[in-house]
Amino acid sequence: MMVRLYLLSLFLLISLANSEASLARGVYQHPDAFLAETFADKVPKAQFIWFTGEVGKTVKSILSHKPASLRTRYWLQDERSVWILEEIGKDKPITVGFIINQGQIERIKVLIFRESRGWEIKRNGFTDQFKDITLEKENRLSKRIDSISGATLSVNAVTKLSRVALYLHSQVLKKDGT
């Protein structure tokens, strides 16, 4: 009887742990919905920035690896841009939306999370740390980001992406002449 109770308890604990991990994965907000919400349903036409020349070298330096694609889309309205970027956490990509306004982060949101661990990065307590951050010398953030125990790789991925979004925003404004 004791062995059965032990095995049942063990089974329930494993099931609970697996269900929590599987609930953590998923689409929290579709990128199209993020864009519609950001631009009050008047989404500007998507534009592209290519990862060539100095832009490509800088993005590679920030990410510590070559970008997965040759270009990325962005949406620009006045001095406000939106970037939907992906970076690998531990094994799988994390999709994050960034709103950059006048050279600082207005908001970030984890849109799609595919990892089995580190889902805590979707919480406002983590993402709110990025509000009003700018890019300083050597493409460093103007503020230190607190990590989350057990989510270090996911935190690092979002932090790198925030640096990339701020950098790309600055390049787009240079190109645009604003």
Mean pLDDT of 86-114: 96
Quick check: is 161 in a domain? yes
Q: Are 83 and 168 in contact (CB under 8 A)?
A: yes
Higher pLDDT among residues 55 and 25, named by residue: 55
Quick check: is 69 in a domain? yes
Kindly tell me the sign of the dihedral angle through the C-alpha atoms of 51, 57, 61, 66. positive
Please report which confidence band the pLDDT of residue 24 belongs to, taking 50, 70 and 90 as the band edges: low
The domain total for the chain is: 1
pLDDT at site 161: 98
pLDDT at site 22: 45
Instruction: Quote the pTM value.
Output: 0.85
Quick check: is 71 in a domain? yes
**Of 8-17, 22-31, 74-83, 164-173, which gets the smallest average pLDDT?**
8-17
- At position 39, the amino acid (one-letter code) is F
Q: Kind of pairing, strands 93-101 and 47-50?
A: unpaired
Q: What is the mean pLDDT of the chain?
A: 88
Question: Which residues span the domain enclosing 85?
Answer: 26-176
Quick check: is 7 in a domain? no
**Of 6-10, 39-43, 128-132, 148-152, which gets the smallest average pLDDT?**
6-10
Quick check: is 89 in a domain? yes
Quick check: is 171 in a domain? yes
Backbone angles phi, psi at 2, to 5 degrees: -65, -40
pLDDT at site 2: 58
Quick check: is 8 in a domain? no
pLDDT at site 30: 94
Q: What share of the chain is helix, strand, coil (3-state, %, to 5)?
A: 45, 25, 30
Q: pLDDT by residue (tens digit) across 152-178? A: 999 999 999 999 999 999 999 887 665
Please report which helix (H) or strand (E) contains residue 71, including its range.
strand 71-77
Q: How far is 148 from 154, CA to CA, in rounded Å?
A: 9
Quick check: is 77 in a domain? yes
